[in-house]
Amino acid sequence: EGLTAALVDPPLLPLSIDSVTAAASAAAGQPYLVQLTATLADNKQQPVGGLLYRRGQELVIVPTAEKLSGTLLARDAAPVVLLTVPAGALPAGQYRVTVAGSRTARSWALQVH
C-alpha cells in the first residue's frame, strides 16, 4: 500500500501472490531467480515483468502486468512468472524480500554472500 502511494505511475499489480520459489541464499556475482504464481484480476491482463525496489535491507519485488487491448485474452488468469535480479544488483548482506500483490504478498529472508 505504501509503495503504491509513493509511485507517480503505480503499476498494475496482480491480485495475489499465490506461491514463490526462490533460494534463501545467493552469490552477489550471480543472477537471483524468483519464480512465482500470481492471480490476475481477469484474462484481460498479461504479466510483463517486474520491478525491484530496495530500501536498506528490505527488497520489494513488484510483478507488473499490462491490460490487453481489443478482444485479446490471456490464456491463464494465474500465470507462472520467472523474474531475474541481475548479477551484481544486490551487495552482500541479509535481506527481507517481499513480492507484492494488491491483496496478498509473500515474504522470505535472503542471504547474499
What's the pLDDT tens digit per position in 49-84?
A: 899 999 999 999 998 887 777 776 656 656 788 999
Predicted local confidence at residue 3, as pLDDT: 61
Predicted local confidence at residue 69, as pLDDT: 76
12 Cβ contact list (under 8 Å, min separation 6):
45, 64, 65, 66, 67
Contact 38, 101 (CB under 8 A): yes
Residues in the chain: 113
- Asked whether the predicted pLDDT for residue 107 surpasses 80, the reply is yes
Contact 37, 81 (CB under 8 A): yes
Predicted local confidence at residue 64, as pLDDT: 83
